[in-house]
Structure 1
Amino acid sequence: MKMKSISLVSVMALTFCFTAPLQAKEEKMTLRLGFETSLESPQGVGAKEMAQVANKLSKGRINIELFPDQQLGTGPQMIEMVKKGELDIFQGGAGMFSAMEPRLNVFDIPYLFESVEQAYKVLDSKFGKEMLATLEPHGLKGLSFWENGIRSTTNNVRPITKPDDIKGLKMRVMPANPVHVMLWKGLGAEPTPLPFGEIYDKLKRGELDGQEHPIAPIYAGKFYEVQKYLSLTKHMYGPLIQITNLEKFKAMPKATQNILLKASYAGV
């Protein structure tokens, strides 16, 4: 009887050892995803698609909660939250990351790409993967590049048909990006770094003359209500980058990592 008891205990212990990790993999998780634009913007539509795909692939285990419209803070603030593990996922313009990783300034070169299709090929290449990997020494895992579009310009002073038309304009530029400041200063503008959520009111009050974004954020931000001129300068293609905390990502089971990567790419 004593031997049988020992055997039974051993079997129970072994069973626990093998089932415990499996149960851990099946635990439900809720991930918070923050971004600056609205749910109706392309970012918002992509985020909803990502949440649906993650939930479907995980058979209901992974729930992604969406926090649009800077509910959790500005872009740079949310990047810091992800680094500290206080926010699970953030997506924002590549230019927001260039202050911490100068190599990402490559996407701030005007007229770098001839078309969106050409940009896609580059971002999906080995070079694109290398650019995402540059965030890892900073404690961030680059999940994927997201579509942001080619940037154009709006303002309340005059149409922009040549570089000289930019001189003297008070222009909003991306925060935490000295390259953007240098670029617009070089063109003779007066650049003002500002979070996305503050642009509309500044334009409405006349504290800014203009701003520059892809068409989709211009429309989502309703800048057409407070701007007279839209000039299709198409001066820059800047992708979005979606990130998560590197250590938290590494701690996830491999299957969960793969689901998160597939869902992120589905939202592009």
Structure 2
Amino acid sequence: MTGRVRWILILAVLFLLTTGCDRRGPDGEQVDPREKIVIKFSHVVAEDTPKGQAARRFARLVQERTGGRVEVQVFPNSTLYKDGEEMDALQQGAVQIIAPTTSKLGSLAPQWQLLDLPYLFQNEDEVHRALDGEVGQKLFAALEAHNVHPLAFWDNGFKQMTGSKGPLVHPRDFAGQTFRVMINSRVLEEQFRCLGARATGLPFSDVYGALASGQVDGQENTMSNIYSQRFYEYQPYLTVSNHGYIGYVVLTSATFWRSLPPDIRRIIEETMAEVTLWEREQASRLNDENFRQIKESGKVQVHMQTAEERREWQEALEPLYRNFRPVIGADLLDEVFRLKAARAPGSGRELSE
């Protein structure tokens, strides 16, 4: 290599280092690395799910809108922490944002078990009216006492039943089988007992292996999770029941939140509100798309629950409402029922063929 070529290469490298890697604030000045805020955002699902896509979008927008002052590092698919570990990691400051399913919060604040009750909501419209209103405010307030600051509700979607031993059409079809449930949810454990089945709590990252090995016979989940995690490969029977809602709560610690400058908090709040609306649209679209892909795989026998079958399941599961009313709080349940009664006929949507 000639001396001239060597100097050209050196100058090219210097140019890249001083331009391509430059981080500047909104006023055009370079961000001091000592002042840069790094936020680790840990979650347990795949990147191509509604939550995974929304987390990436949120990270990109916050970095852009703070001029590089804030960097949100997203860790999907349990690469940092599993279901049962992420809340401790948040409270210990190992991560700054998590987005667990609402079921994971029942052991922290029993009111959150409300959202695990089967057939509580018929569609996303009812869910959003409750969680964006007084019901959501009361649930959020229950977390503040635990040094947890809620930022948003994100959708996953409505749960469907899958199994390996035969179609799940009537409550009697569950008898003697074992189903995986999300950890920390007494409601979900009792749900399967009401159906005559056994419940086994497992972290989300362990579900595929449990289905493949036959440790469990079935599970309940949204279409996007069933497809992205390939659960359908070992679950040849799918009942589209829309029997329960899975949502996420985006959380940070109250201590970390108070440590942020006011302008950064404002940008995060505004960006989170914007991304939340986008995420909900993506969740609806992805569940429909993944349902189509599951059917086209040729590996699954799909049963669409009829109105009569729905009534059978509701009757079998009715004891859950009586047993958990004092645990969850009569005021929360009554507020949801009031909202449902006031809902305009025909609003909302459900997953269908």
Common fold: TM-score over 0.5: yes
Unpaired runs of 5+ residues, structure 1, are 1-22
1:239 aligns with 2:234: no
Could you list the per-position Cα deviations for residues 1-24 of structure 1 after superposition, in whole angstroms to 9, with x for gaps in the alignment? xxxxxxxxxxxxxxxxxxxxxx99
Which of residues 117, 123, 134 in structure 2 aligns to 1:126?
134
Shift of 1:222: 0.7
Shift of 1:203: 0.6
CA–CA distance in structure 2, aligned partners of residues 205 and 128 of structure 1: 39
State the partner residue of 1:252. Answer: 260
Shift of 1:160: 1.4
1:194 aligns with 2:192: no
Unpaired runs of 5+ residues, structure 2, are 1-30, 277-353
Q: How many residues align?
A: 245
1:81 aligns with 2:58: no
CA–CA distance in structure 2, aligned partners of residues 75 and 263 of structure 1: 25
RMSD: 1.6
TM-score, structure 1 normalization: 0.87
Please identify which structure carries the higher strand content.
1
1:230 aligns with 2:251: no
CA–CA distance in structure 1, aligned partners of residues 198 and 186 of structure 2: 13
Could you list the per-position Cα deviations for residues 15-43 of structure 1 after superposition, in whole angstroms to 9, with x for gaps in the alignment? xxxxxxxx99x932110001111111111
Shift of 1:129: 2.4
The within-5 A match list for 1:6-21 is: none
CA–CA distance in structure 2, aligned partners of residues 153 and 265 of structure 1: 31
1:100 is aligned with what amino acid?
L
**Larger RCO (alpha carbons 8 Å, 6+ apart):** 1
1:244 is aligned with what amino acid?
T
Shift of 1:110: 0.9
2:62 is aligned with what amino acid?
A
State the partner residue of 1:177. Answer: 185
CA contact (8 A) 1:95 1:104 kept: yes
CA contact (8 A) 1:132 1:144 kept: no
1:222–1:267 Cα change, 3 Å = farther
State the partner residue of 1:4. Answer: none
1:191 is aligned with what amino acid?
A
State the partner residue of 2:225. Answer: 217
State the partner residue of 1:154. Answer: 162
Could you list the per-position Cα deviations for residues 144-170 of structure 1 after superposition, in whole angstroms to 9, with x for gaps in the alignment? 101110111111011112222222221
Could you list the per-position Cα deviations for residues 208-234 of structure 1 after superposition, in whole angstroms to 9, with x for gaps in the alignment? 111111111111111111110111111
CA contact (8 A) 1:48 1:267 kept: no
1:104 aligns with 2:101: no
Q: Secondary structure at the match of 1:230?
A: strand
1:65 aligns with 2:73: yes
CA contact (8 A) 2:46 2:77 kept: yes
Large movers: runs of 4+ above 3 Å: none
State the partner residue of 2:216. Answer: 208
CA–CA distance in structure 1, aligned partners of residues 137 and 97 of structure 2: 18
1:251 is aligned with what amino acid?
S
